[in-house]
A = this chain, B = another copy of it.
Amino acid sequence: MLNDDLIGIPGGRWRLQTPALVIDLDVLERNIARMADHAARHGVNLRPHAKTHKSAEIAKRQMAAGALGICCAKLGEAEALAAAGVESIHITSPVVTEGGIARLMALNGRMKELIVVCDDAEVAAKLDAAASGKTLDVFVDIDPGMGRTGIRPDLAPALVEQVARAGNLTLRGLQCYAGQVQHMESPNQRRDASFSALKELGALRDRLKEKGLAPAILSGGGTGTFGIDPEARVLSELQVGSYVFMDRQYNDVWTKPGDRPPFETSLFVQTTVISANRTGLVTTDAGLKSFATDDGVPVIAHGAPEGAAYFFFGDEQGGVIYSEETRKLKRGDQIACVVPHCDPTVNLYDRYHVVRGDTLEAIWPVDARGRSA
Residues of chain A touching chain B, judged by Cβ–Cβ distance below 8 Å, are 1-2, 15, 17-20, 51, 73-74, 76, 93-100, 102-103, 119-120, 122-123, 143, 147-152, 179, 272-278, 281, 283, 285-286, 288-290, 292-294, 312-317, 319, 331-332, 341, 343-344, 347-350, 369-370, 372-373
Contacts and interface: CB of A to CB of B under 8 A. Distances in A.
Nearest to A278: B147
A102 B97 CA distance: 49
* Chain copies in the assembled complex: 2
Given A20-B373, A285-B372, A315-B73, A98 B277 contact: no
A276 B123 CA distance: 11
Contacts of A120: 275-277, 331
Given A97-B272, A119-B275, A348-B348, 19 more contacts: A1-B98, A1-B99, A17-B103, A51-B315, A73-B316, A93-B316, A93-B317, A95-B274, A96-B275, A147-B281, A147-B283, A148-B319, A149-B274, A150-B277, A288-B343, A289-B343, A289-B347, A293-B293, A293-B294
Nearest to A72: B316
22 contacts: A1-B102, A15-B98, A15-B99, A17-B76, A17-B97, A18-B373, A19-B372, A93-B274, A97-B272, A119-B275, A119-B277, A143-B277, A147-B283, A148-B275, A148-B283, A148-B317, A149-B277, A152-B277, A286-B372, A288-B294, A290-B372, A294-B312
